[in-house]
Amino acid sequence: MKKIAVLTSGGDAPGMNAAVRAVVRKAIYEGLDVAGVLNGYQGLIEGKIELLQLGSVGDIIQRGGTILRSARSPEFRTLEGRQKAVEQIKLHGIEGLVVIGGDGSFMGALELTLLGIPCVCVPATIDNDINGTEFTIGFDTALNTVIEAIDKIRDTATSHERTFIVEVMGRNAGDLALWAGLAGGAETILIPEEKFDSTDLIKRLKSGTGRGKKHSIIVVAEGVMSANELADILKKEANIETRVSVLGHIQRGGSPSARDRVIASQYGARAVEVLMEGRSGVAVGMRDHLVIDYDLQDVFKGLHELDMSMYTLSKELSI
């Protein structure tokens, strides 16, 4: 193997740059040429491919976003689009591709392996929703952003004796809400993995008020419902007044946390090793604190599982 390429695709996540840096530096360390593809799969179709040097990835480990930029490419979802991408890959003499992104990007990579292109995927999404790995790049940074916001909201919730609803991202996964809720000491955490029960929620809120609790923080994952919808339900069903805070895209930005930089470095380097071993259709990730690699198809065989013991714990600690 003489030359590989790397791209970032789908929703961006803090730490993608650290992963790009690791791929580039590890590849060069191993004596390979390494190219960067701009704008994800769309750039691959359009041949936006540049050879990278050690210095190309200098001063980026601490930066959010991705220097390679990311894109969503409807054209790549078609066989014609993917065939154009394959032509470009061959034209540039690329023998293996590292795809850094979420599960949509992983699906694109799987399709590309079926056309004979060796691909290895690195999980990067703040949602932490990829089956087979305990952690994705970006999750820890987003978590810290949410906790910082909850701490600030708690100050005003306490001062004004109010109930706040904080809506966090996560798509269909409750990881961000659960971890942030637990770490931020939220009184209630609503996640898509648990059936929403307004009667139970109202009972909890009222029993808190009964004990003299004057303020409360409810963290709701976007996969359950929006914070505004929840506020309407509480108002309509129990005349409970709340304030709403939707954190939005600030959760996707910022300088990556130490942990995200470390796992991005580990995952990126491992991806290069896997390609050098002559393997394809592989995802890297983490299990029991160890960097692992596994069959890319396994990502789609089940849903990412949330650690429900943490949910139980959060309930026990916020009685």
Binding residues, as ranges, are 11, 21-25, 72-73, 102-105, 125-127, 154, 162, 169-171, 185-187, 211, 213-215, 222, 243, 249-252
Nearer to ligand ADP, 208 or 268 (CB): 268
Based on the shown chain and the rule CB under 6 A, indicate whether residue 108 belongs to the binding site for ligand ADP: yes
Q: How far is the CB of 109 from ligand ADP (least distance, A)?
A: 8
Based on the shown chain and the rule CB under 6 A, indicate whether residue 107 belongs to the binding site for ligand ADP: yes
56 vs 51, 64, 100, 234, CA distance in Å? 9, 16, 17, 52
Question: Within 13 Å and on the Cβ side, how many CA atoms surround 102?
Answer: 20
In the set 36, 43, 102, 123, which binds ligand ADP (CB under 6 A)?
A: 102
Q: How far is the CB of 258 from ligand ADP (least distance, A)?
A: 23
Q: Treating both helix axes as pointing N-terminal to C-terminal, what angle do 227-238 and 198-210 enclose, rounded to 10 degrees? A: 70
User: 33 catalytic, yes or no?
Assistant: no
Sign of CA dihedral 151, 153, 159, 164: negative
> Which residues fall in the annotated binding site for Mg(2+)?
103
> Which residues fall in the annotated binding site for ADP?
21-25, 154, 185-187, 211, 213-215
**CA-based nearest residue to 167, from 111, 220, 236, 233:** 220
Based on the shown chain and the rule CB under 6 A, indicate whether residue 11 belongs to the binding site for ligand ADP: yes
Q: How many CB atoms lie within 10 A of CB 84?
A: 17
Q: Answer yes or no: are the C-beta atoms of 123 and 136 closer than 8 Å.
A: yes
Distance CA 266, CA 261 (A): 9
Based on the shown chain and the rule CB under 6 A, indicate whether residue 72 belongs to the binding site for ligand ADP: yes
Q: How far is the CB of 128 from ligand ADP (least distance, A)?
A: 12
Q: How far is the CB of 223 from ligand ADP (least distance, A)?
A: 14
In the set 17, 39, 88, 105, which binds ligand ADP (CB under 6 A)?
A: 105
Pick the catalytic residue: 12, 33, 127, 140?
Answer: 127
13 vs 69, 74, 246, 257, 275, CA distance in Å? 11, 20, 19, 11, 23
Q: Kindly identify the residues of this chain, within the stretch 198-217, that bind ligand ADP according to CB under 6 A.
A: none
Q: Answer yes or no: are the C-beta atoms of 152 and 144 closer than 8 Å.
A: no
| Cα diameter, the chain | 71
Question: What would the two tokens of residue 236 be?
Answer: 């309509």
> Which residues fall in the annotated binding site for substrate?
125-127, 162, 169-171, 222, 243, 249-252
Q: How far is CA 15 from the centre of its chain?
A: 10
Residue closest to ligand ADP when measured from CB atoms: 104
Based on the shown chain and the rule CB under 6 A, indicate whether residue 103 belongs to the binding site for ligand ADP: yes
Q: How far is CA 34 from the centre of its chain?
A: 25
Residue 147, SS3? helix
In the set 10, 132, 170, 223, which binds ligand ADP (CB under 6 A)?
A: 10
Alpha helices in 9-78 (DSSP H): 16-29, 40-45
In the set 34, 76, 113, 146, which binds ligand ADP (CB under 6 A)?
A: 76
In the set 8, 15, 57, 111, which binds ligand ADP (CB under 6 A)?
A: 111
Based on the shown chain and the rule CB under 6 A, indicate whether residue 281 belongs to the binding site for ligand ADP: no
Q: Kindly identify the residues of this chain, within the stretch 40-69, that bind ligand ADP according to CB under 6 A.
A: 41
**CA-based nearest residue to 233, from 259, 209, 198:** 198
- For residues 161 to 190, the per-residue mask of contacts with ligand ADP, x marking binding by CB under 6 A and - elsewhere, is ------------------------------
Residues at the site binding ligand ADP, with contacts judged by CB under 6 A: 9-11, 41, 72-73, 76-77, 101-105, 107-108, 111, 125
Positions annotated as catalytic residues are: 127
